[in-house]
Amino acid sequence: MTSEAPKRPTLSVPFAMEHPDRARKERYYDAEFYRLETEQLWPRVWQMACRLEQIPEPNDFITYEFLDQSVIVLRTGDGGVRAFQNACRHRGVQIVEGRGSLKSSGFTCPFHGWCYGVDGANTAVTQSRSFAEHNLDPDDINLASVRSEAWGGCAWINLDLEAPPLRQCIEPFATVFDAWKLESMRAEWWYACRLPVNWKLAMEAFMEQYHVLETHPQLRIPGRIPPRDGKPFDPQAWIDSELQYLHAMSDGMAGMVHASDVGTAEGLRTMELPVDPVAAIPMWNRALNDAVVEWHESAGHDVPDLNALERDGLNEPMGHCFPHFFVLPMYSSASSYRFRPLGPEETLMELWSLTRFASDSEPVPLPTPEVWECDDPRWPPIPAQDFSNLPRQQRGLHAKGFEYMRLSERAEGGLSNFERVVDGFLAGLPYERLLPALRSVNVNPLEMPIVDLGF
């Protein structure tokens, strides 16, 4: 006789999370569930639309595409951002494509020449006398504004006029990455991958560590876990294993640990440590943190005090910003991920490598990435290993005998919390109920237990 997991009150959503540790498979391919997401989730959430170095100068613009929506994100003269729906008010033609820089006169529709200023206001209608007066109402022919804010070196947009401000919706992620000085980091490279899987399935592969030892065997480094039961600890062998790990993370992720930080760590290879691992490992971590900070400060980089972050409990290996954005900081640098649905079983994943630059240095040009397939040999080893699992998982969900995912309450609690917040949006809950739940998922999801979201 099998035990049945206890049910909790569920929201009125198809395939809702009736049990917090079970996710119905239909959530990841059902057309109706996906339709609800396009209507109730994505138009109501703050989305990371671009990195600011993609639009570094006033009047630089880029289009952000999600689902069937296109939004123009424009850099303003004061360093902020402004956003508009990318549709001419005449016959709906998308006014711009990709990215570029506007003249001071603003936008011109390529179809019939209607013009708009950089503030979105209509400035000219060609052959205006041929239109009825009610079709030229000055308040109705400006570009439709989209809510936008700049934070953390990124531009953010939200289609919902009733949504709370950005900061309220992304805490405590914002506080953590203010401490990391995320706004002073810039991208060295930008990759993109087309994954033949549901967007949530793609994200959840990166929201738990349960898969790491099986999926990434190069990270099974002998000697890195200190011996137990009174067995002798060799400090030099442990340092060697730690350096091997840092090299693996740098090479395997094309810079998750920046090469400069690996070089700094190599300079500590002969450091003398006590034979007690309880004392030795914190001593190494403090010394490496200080050495990394010193190296970057000497280069004129705005870098946080890594030991202060550790002391204040902010030295997390990952932060998730609901619904689709991640930052994974390590020492001076970070990797950043963004996911966008392309259909019920297709996702665009983008990866940025972020590092520190001197404040007076010129921004590194950041070309739009070529979109690679998930099996492209150019992928670094670690994401390539993750991508190898995902299509097999998506296909496996269609098995007739498979009903739901069984989630570990501790190792995969972050997945449960995330999916249940999705349910809250799909049920149309008001923001006063969603905001406390968002604070439970705008955190490091790795090893996060299942928590009570209040609905």
Q: Are residues 373 and 284 in the same domain?
A: no
The answer to whether the CB of 55 falls within 8 A of the CB of 157 is: no
Residue 4's pLDDT is 55
CATH number for position 129: 2.102.10.10
Answer yes or no: do 207 and 231 share one domain.
no
Whole-model pTM? 0.94
Q: Is residue 420 part of a domain?
A: yes
Structural domain count of the chain: 3
- Is 309 inside a domain boundary? no
Evaluate whether 217 touches 343 at the Cβ level (below 8 Å): no
pLDDT in tens, the chain (455 residues): 445 555 555 688 999 999 999 999 999 999 999 999 999 999 999 999 999 999 999 999 999 999 999 999 999 999 999 999 999 999 999 999 999 999 877 999 999 999 999 999 999 999 999 999 999 999 899 999 999 999 999 999 999 999 999 999 999 999 999 999 999 999 999 999 999 999 999 999 999 999 998 999 999 998 898 887 778 999 999 999 999 999 999 998 877 899 999 999 999 999 999 999 999 999 999 999 999 999 999 999 999 999 999 999 999 899 999 999 999 999 999 999 999 999 999 999 999 999 998 877 776 667 889 999 999 999 999 999 999 999 999 999 999 999 999 999 999 999 999 999 999 999 999 999 999 999 999 999 998 999 999 99
Q: Are residues 249 and 347 in the same domain?
A: no
Neighbouring-strand partners of residue 65: 70
* Parent domain of 153: 47-162
Query: For the CA atoms of 252, 253, 254, 256, what is the dihedral angle to 10 degrees?
Result: -120
- The domain boundary, picked from 299, 326, 341, lies at 299
CA atoms of 2 and 403, how far apart (whole Å)? 16
**Same structural domain, 291 and 334:** no
Claim to verify: residue 59 and residue 27 sit in the same structural domain: no
> Residues 280, 238: one domain?
yes
